[in-house]
Structure 1
C-alpha cells in the first residue's frame, strides 16, 4: 500500500494539529481554527488554486498531482475529517471558476486570498428540491436596473465564513453559475448556520437571497450555451470532487479500525476487523486507479459514483459496530471516538446520496467521435 508520508513527511505533524482541533471543534470552533495556523496546512487547504492567485502555496505542496492530493486527504482524515473540513481554501467552486471563468473573473473570485486564507462555497441544493439541478427554483433575472438573484440554498458548506462563492441558478430556459461575495450584504443575503449531527466542521448553512444584486461580469460563461455552462459544468465539478469525499470516508474508516485494534476484543471481532481492512485496501487501490484514469484523460462518471458509494458504506458499516464491540465504559468515556462515529454517517449526504450513485454506477458511457464519456 502506498505511504504518502514518504513524499510528505510533514503530514504527521499536520495530522496532530487536526486531532487537536477536532477534539474542541464542536464546542469551541474559533479556538479550533487557531490550531490551523500552520503554513503547510494552509498550503494543503489551497491546493487547486492557481499559483498566480495563491500566496499561501509552499514549496512542498506547490505541484501536487490528483493522486497525491487524494492520498493526502485520506491520510489527514484518519485523524479527523470534520476538522479538515473547517479549513479555508479551495472548494467545489474552484474547479468551476477555472473551467468557466474568464481570467478577469478568476482574478476577482480569488482576490479574497490575497491577504489571508479565505473560505469559499458552492451552492446548489435547495429546500424541496434537494440537489436535483433540473428542478431548482433559485432564479437569476434581469431588468432595467440590473441583474438579481432570488431564492434559497440549503446545506451549503463553509458559507458562514465565506468571502466568495458560486450560486447555481435558473436563468430563462437554462442555468447559470453566479459569483457571489457575501461581505457587506446582510440584507439581501442572509446566512443561517444549520444544526448538524456529524461532520460539523462543514458548517452547513442556509442561504436566503432576496433581490441580491449581481454584476453581469459575475455570471460565469454567460455568452455560452446554457447546457455547456450549466448542467454539464456541474457534472464535471462533482465528478472530480466525489473521490475526495471517498478519500475522507476511507480515512475515517482507517481511524476507526485503528482505534478498535487497540482494544481487547473477542476473536469474532478481530476476524471482522480483518475483513474490514481487506475492504479498505481494495477501495484504496480503486481510488488510486481512478486518479490514474483522470491523469490519462479518461471520463469516469460511473466509477466515481461506485467509489463514493462503496467508501461511504464502508465507513458506516465500520462505525455501526463500534458500540457493540467496545465496552460500555470505554464507549461512554471516548467522546472523540463518538464524534468520529457520528461523522461516519454524514458522508452519505456529501456530493450525492447513495440512490443517486446507484443510478450513476450502471450508466453506460456514450461514444461521440473517438471520445467515450458517461451520460450526465
Structure 2
C-alpha cells in the first residue's frame, strides 16, 4: 500500500508540472485517476459524500483512483495527503456468487462484530503485531435489502478505512464506519434501492481476537447455550445484533480449536450455497433441503432455515482430525455432540434474526 501511495503522489507531481491546471485525469481502460477536490464528487460513480469523506480522512490534498469492473460492481480508493485512506466497493448482491469478489466476513485471526444501530453489517480489523507502528486499517461492510420495486435485490457496501487512530479508544471507532454508512445512504438513493437505513453509528464493539476466550458455560453471544463436552470447554464469540455472518469458535482447555460454527444470512447465505453447489460432492448444503445433513467426508454439518430475506445457512466445521487435533478422533459421541451443538447454535441465531426454526433429520 505504501508503494502504491508513492506512485500516485509521483504521478500527481508530474502532471502538475506538465500542465498548469489544478487536476488531471488519466484513463486506462476501466481505471481513472484524479487529483483535485472535485474528484470526490465523481468517485465511485458519485456515491461518496464529500463532507463525510473530508471529515474522516482529513483536509489535505486528495487523490482518487476509480475502478468500474461492470454494471454490478464499482470501486474507488481515496487517499488524503497527511491524512487517511478509504477503499470503497459497492456491489449489487443480485449477482452474488457470480463475481470474483466475495462478501467480507473478516480476517481468520479475528471475529468481526455487528455494526448494529439498525444496520445489517460487520465491523472487522486484522490484529497484526508486526504492523503496530502503522495506521489502523479497519473494514466496515453493510448489506442493504432493496424494496420489491427496485431492479436490484440488494446492495453491499464495503469500506476499508486506514487512519492514524487506535481502535482501542471507543471514541475513534465510529469514525471508521462513517464513510460506509454515508455511502450506503447515497447508493440506496442513486440505485433506487429504497432500503431501510440504520441510524448514526455512535458506538462499536472491538473485533474479537482469537485469544479472547471465555468458559463455554458463560457464553452470552453467538456461542450461548451450547453445552460443554469432552474436549470442548472454551468459547470465542461476538455479540448478536444484525450481522449477516456470525461465528462461534469452540476449543479445549489447551485453547486448541475443536469446532467453528457459522451462520450466514441474505446474500452471505446465497453466496455460500452457490459455492457448495459447484463442489463435486454429494449431500452438500442447498437451499431446497431445510434439514440437518453431514457431508460424506465428514468435513461439516449443516442445516438451513427460512428467513424474511431468503434462506439462512448454518454450518459446523470440525477443526480437523489431523495434526494437533489428532488426539480427538470423532466417534459416535462426537458426532452426536456436533449435531446438538449445531442445533442449539442454529436455533438461537435464527430466532434472533426472525427466521423459522431450523429443521433437523
TM-score tier after normalising by the smaller chain length: under 0.3
TM-score of the superposition, structure 1-length normalised?
0.23
- Given the two structures, how large is their TM-score scaled by the length of structure 2? 0.24
| Structure number having the greater helix percentage | 1
Q: Which has the higher contact order (CA 8 A, sep 6+)?
A: 1
